[in-house]
């Protein structure tokens, strides 16, 4: 067979059409696979968004209640707390405890870099706050002359809890901004 005939046979429509069609099909399959992989990643990120938002709302509720409790205790310390003040402090503690527990349950399922460290800091600060509450509670219903020292210790124990919640909230905000910039902008 002559070289020109072999070249014409190779370039014939009978050979070229299936070869080009196969290459185009392979290219489309690769492109669709890449799009499918990206869609799966975005779906996974989008499914985390409601969890992060719910946990953020719980953290906001907790920090608000803790700050109000801090103020209520500071107000009561120089005086004798009446029943309504003690009830208000108890309600604020209950609100903050429930909100923190709810947030921590939600965050236990979230896989975000560094979140374990933030949760550990929050738990440590919360444990210290619980111990401090046990020291402060007996002082509330009675007059206390050295309330300035107690107030300093109280504030220095509450502040790390507030800071830990702020740090965790910031971490969650970063998680959202990595997941979807649009949603992070709406929330932030």
Is 106 part of a structural domain of the chain? yes
Is 28 part of a structural domain of the chain? no
Is 29 part of a structural domain of the chain? no
The whole-model pTM stands at 0.73
Q: Can you say whether the dihedral through the CA atoms of 114, 120, 125, 130 is positive or negative?
A: positive
Is 135 part of a structural domain of the chain? yes
Is 36 part of a structural domain of the chain? no
- Looking at residue 3, what is its pLDDT? 57
Is 103 part of a structural domain of the chain? yes
What is the distance between the alpha carbons of residues 157 and 175, in angstroms, rounded to a whole number? 28
Is 27 part of a structural domain of the chain? no
| Token couple for 70 | 């801090």
pLDDT tens, 60-103?
A: 999 999 999 999 999 888 888 889 999 999 999 999 999 999 99
**Domain region containing 183:** 47-187
List % helix, strand, coil for the chain (3-state, nearest 5): 85, 0, 15
| Tokens 């905000």 -> residue | 173
| Token couple for 127 | 């444990």
């Amino acid at each position: 067979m002559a070289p020109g005939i072999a070249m014409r046979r190779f370039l014939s429509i009978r050979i070229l059409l299936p070869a080009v069609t196969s290459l185009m099909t392979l290219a489309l399959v690769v492109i669709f696979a890449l799009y499918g992989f990206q869609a799966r990643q975005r779906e996974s990120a989008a499914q985390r968004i409601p969890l992060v938002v719910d946990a953020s709302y719980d953290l906001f509720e907790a920090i608000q209640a803790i700050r109000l409790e801090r103020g209520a205790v500071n107000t009561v310390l120089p005086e004798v707390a009446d029943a309504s003040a003690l009830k208000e402090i108890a309600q604020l503690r209950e609100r903050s405890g429930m909100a923190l527990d709810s947030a921590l349950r939600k965050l236990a399922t979230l896989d975000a870099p560094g979140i374990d460290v933030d949760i550990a800091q929050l738990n440590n600060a919360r444990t210290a706050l619980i111990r401090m509450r046990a020291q402060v509670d007996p002082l509330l219903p009675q007059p206390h002359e050295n309330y300035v020292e107690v107030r300093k210790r109280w504030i220095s124990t509450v502040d790390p809890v507030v800071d830990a919640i702020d740090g965790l909230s910031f971490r969650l905000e970063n998680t959202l901004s990595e997941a979807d910039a649009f949603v992070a902008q709406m929330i932030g």
